[in-house]
Chain A
Amino acid sequence: MKQTCLLIKSRKSKTTIRGCKVIVQLFGVFVFLIVGIFSFSIAEANDFESSIKDLGNKSRSKIKLAVKRLGNIGNPAALPALEALKDNHLQISSDGSLIILNESEDQGRYALSGNPVDLSSLTLHKPRINNSVRRVLSMAIGKLKLTSDSPQVRLQAAGQLLKMPSTDLVELVEKTLDREDNDEVRKIFILVLAKEGLKSDDKNRRLKSLNIINEFGNNDFKTDLEALLEKDDTGNFLEGDSEIRDHAAKAISTIENRQFFINQAANLFYGLSLGSILLLAALGLAITFGLMGIINMAHGEMLMLGAYATFLVQNLFREYLPGIFDWYLVIAIPISFIVSAIIGIILERTIIRHLYGRPLETLLATWGISLILIQSVRLLFGAQNVKVANPSYLSGGIEVFHGVVLPYNRIAIIMFVVFVVISIWMLLQKTSLGLQVRAVTQNREMASCMGISTHKIDMYTFGLGSGVAGLGGLALSQIGNVGPELGQLYIVDSFMVVVTGGVGKIAGTVAGALGLGILNKFLEPVAGAVLGKIIVLILIVILIQKRPQGLFAPKGRMMDN
């Protein structure tokens, strides 16, 4: 800087002096600014801390001020404390420090430092807040979230805002829109503004808003749009401008079209999901009934046993291995298979074996077995449903479209059923055991002549079918209640699936299950759940009349006998 000064001085001394003065002044300003900013940030930090502290103030108006200040400061570190206050999880200890409790209120940490605190030594009380405080809180939380560094948080806050608009926040959105670099967040910001724009007095702005809604909007906008088309008692439109009305009507139909496709996609997924569940329930039956021709009415109970085996494994993990609790499901897979398979084999050896070739008697005897199994489970575990928890990785889901959430457990079941079907297929087609099973099921005498122990194969096949039912039970435990009557819910459906698909073909069962699942879900919105189910049952009855061998089974000489 001195050199510059000299250079200038060499040219023009007067100006040099003046110039140096300016520089000094500038320097001064610079220093002042630095110091100022520094001191300001200290002040701000103090302000932050004191504001947080003020959240525990006795006066509601002080709390409100503190909340507003925290919102304005824009430090996301305030979020946990604010949210805790809103959810009534913020407590004040006797020394005035604020403590955030967890959900179950048995652990806590300091609001400022975040360090854990031993709750037992403290006496706590709650800050006094009311709805007016809560409103301010929501606002501040919204502000903090909208300006958060994490796009996810911004997205969530923007979504929230879309549902419950508030003018202050909308203004904030307007300001931050240009700086927003995440496309998804931007899109929602634009929609927020568009929704706000509908209320504007400026016609152009309203039309522009309508166009935006037309392009990106979802079902949630329908009420706003329909409001534009409403008539008063005398039959006149409340909205005077016909152009606005036209645009609104157009937007509604676009949204409806879009929603229709989303719904169909959702139905397809839910149908696949239901189909995969039906398939898991019916796969075991496809083996015992489809391949062996045994009418096992206790099949449902094999599902139920698999589910209870999963329940037991879960309890053992919770008791002895809580650290790796999430792994219980993986361990439960072989165990549920084995439990059901062993019980199936015992039944086959002791009872069902004596009834081969007498299908109606088998039906009655296995029904008797199912009653005994149900009652045994009821006496052992109680008549009430037991709770099988999802491992953490199966909780929640992903939202693929607005309002269409695919839960992880259902996605996992779809993948699981693919795995099971492929395993069974490999087992039957690629192993020597599978070859023997197919031989015995196709021509028992011939197989026996060729040295295959048909008794053993019967036992293995039945065990396999029961074991697969056990796996089905494991899957069912992840999506619904587990109770003694679990199997009864699925037995009719399982038979329907196998019969629809065609007896004797695993591929037919797969197609039958997925077909019925999807059909069911597409009928549900039209006819309601119960009527939909009834219609499906009636369709199946008609189908069996038309094609007694099922949809996919080949015709042949065997069919008659």
Chain B
Amino acid sequence: MIRKFIHLHSLREWLFIFTILAIATVLLPLFNILVPEESVLHVPNYMFALMGKYLCYALVALAIDLIWGYTGILSLGHGVFFSAGGYAMGMYLMRSVGKEGVYKSDLPDFMVFLDWKELPWYWYGFDSFIFTLLVILILPALFAFTFGYFAFKSRIKGVYFAIITQAMTFALMLLFFRNETGFGGNNGLTDFKRILGYSLQEPSTKMSLYIITAIILFLSYILSRYVVQSKLGRVLTAIRDAESRVMFSGYNTVHYKLFIWTLSAFLCGIAGALYVPQVGIINPSEMQPSNSIEMAIWVAVGGRGTLSGALVGAGLVNGAKSWFTVAAPDYWLYFLGTLFIVVTLYFPKGFTGIFARFNSKEKSKEST
């Protein structure tokens, strides 16, 4: 089994991956702690929350690449799984605020505001981190499994699947916008104080969360790499390219699609759960249809069906977003819109496609 994992990459690739991991989880924190603040090399505290956020997005991109890049199923509803993980974590964080809210009540502030007298039943258990963890790991996957089971069994695919996932996220967004639903309405859950007893305001907590996110992303990447490198991965790509042939070859494609769909939702839920403590808020706007489509473009920009491309794409697009929102907020949507068009028209293989083309040209030059 371990040998199988080692064979996923060549030695050179492993070295590269571990170097990046070491830089991200060891070097950057060291540059924050050891290098004095006035130095150019000092990594400021705020960077960790920001990078943590990007890493969460990268995990989402990874999840979407599995289902879209490899299996050809475009989901426009991954915001739901992201939010499911996020809300579960948010509920735990809300409960650990205790009586330090504005109203000094045991209930979350928004419930006091709505004049609720006791905790709704579905909030039970979120005092416990272990319970929350289980919910984060199970709920998004379970929801995806149920939804996927019916969708794939009815052979909904392509555009139809994309549209009903969009309808799903739209419906849930409407549901969560309601105060009566019990998740804080359009304000969502926010004003968290601490996680596992550590204050969320502390730079050290933020840095720890960032390092945990980086490690989870790394593990998810290895898991995904293993999946796509296995025969199952080849079946998935075969489903993408010629599904009926796969069925006539004796594969129950419903099971395969369901597996990867559920795995994708599982990773996406974890990303949401890691996102919330680092960003400090979760609200229904995460379930806006536009958000889920934006996730797809991260993968498209990086390059579909490569895993690494998804990670790069998430970083590039979100880096650009951060820059635009500060420097030229009016033009961000122009940029994003143009990105959608240009990538689909001219760079169907995304950034990694350009890179690969460039690389192969170099190689052919060398060989001649």
Contact = CB atoms under 8 A, between A and B. Distances in A.
A and B touch in the complex (CB under 8 A): yes
Interface of A: 295, 297, 351, 354-355, 358-365, 367-372, 374-375, 379, 488, 491-492, 495-496, 499, 530-531, 533-534, 537-538, 540-542, 544-546, 548
B160 A360 contact: no
9 contacts: A297-B293, A354-B345, A364-B343, A365-B345, A372-B333, A372-B334, A496-B163, A537-B167, A544-B156
Given A368-B338, A537-B168, 9 more contacts: A359-B158, A367-B340, A368-B297, A375-B331, A375-B333, A499-B160, A499-B163, A530-B177, A537-B167
Contacts of B300: 364
B309 interface: no
A63 B166 CA distance: 67
Contact of A361 (B160, B170, B333, B344): B344
Contact of A363 (B74, B150, B178): B74
Contact of A351 (B159, B171, B345): B345
B333 A530 contact: no
Nearest to A546: B154
A371 B283 CA distance: 22
Closest 6 pairs between A and B when the two form their complex, measured CB to CB: A368-B340, A371-B337, A372-B337, A375-B333, A545-B154, A368-B337
Interface string B330-351: 1101101111110111001000
A541 B333 contact: no
A531 B289 CA distance: 18
B174 interface: yes
Given A371-B340, A548-B155, A364 B297 contact: yes
Residue of B159, B178, B293, B296 with most partner-chain A CB within 10 A: B159
Given A363-B159, A368-B338, A371-B333, A537 B170 contact: yes
Given A369-B341, A372-B338, A537-B167, A548 B156 contact: yes
A89 B123 CA distance: 58
Contacts of B345: 351, 354-355, 365
B164 interface: yes
Contacts of A370: 337
A460 to B, nearest CB: 23
Contacts of B112: none
B64 to A, nearest CB: 12
Contacts of A371: 333-334, 336-337, 340
B177 A375 contact: no
B167 A363 contact: no
Contacts of A492: 166-167, 170, 289
A360 B296 CA distance: 11
Nearest to B150: A545
Contacts of A488: 290
Contact of A545 (B151, B289, B296): B151
Given A354-B345, A355-B344, A371-B337, A364 B171 contact: no
A540 B340 CA distance: 29
Contacts of B156: 544-545, 548
B336 A368 contact: yes
A371 B338 CA distance: 9
A206 B151 CA distance: 64
B246 interface: no
B162 interface: yes
B293 A364 contact: yes
Contacts of A362: 344
Contacts of A367: 293, 337, 340
B159 A541 contact: no
Nearest to A533: B174
B216 interface: no
Nearest to B296: A364
B178 A530 contact: yes
Nearest to A354: B345
Nearest to B333: A375
Contacts of A531: 175, 178
A495 B163 CA distance: 7
A362 B178 CA distance: 33
Nearest to B167: A537
Given A540-B167, A544-B160, A374 B154 contact: no
A363 B161 CA distance: 12
Contacts of A360: 74, 158-159, 162
Contacts of B163: 495-496, 499
Contacts of B331: 375
Nearest to B149: A545
Nearest to B346: A354
Contacts of A297: 293
A375 B330 contact: yes
> Which of B153, B296, B340, B345 has most chain A Cβ within 10 Å?
B340
A209 B344 CA distance: 75
Nearest to B68: A360
A538 B171 contact: yes
B215 to A, nearest CB: 32
B353 to A, nearest CB: 14
A299 B168 CA distance: 20
A379 B158 CA distance: 35
Given A374-B333, A530-B178, A548-B155, A537 B171 contact: yes
Contacts of B166: 492, 495
Nearest to B157: A548
A544 B177 CA distance: 26
A56 B338 CA distance: 69
A367 B292 CA distance: 12
Contacts of B153: 545
B177 A379 contact: no
B344 A544 contact: no
Interface in B294-313: 296-297, 300
Interface string B176-187: 011000000000
Contacts of A544: 154, 156, 160, 164
Contact of B340 (A364, A533, A537, A538): A364
Contacts of A375: 330-331, 333-334, 337
A352 to B, nearest CB: 10
Contacts of A374: 333
A360 B153 CA distance: 21
Contacts of B293: 297, 364, 367
Contacts of A372: 333-334, 337-338
Nearest to B289: A492
A160 B30 CA distance: 80
A363 B162 contact: yes
Contacts of B177: 530
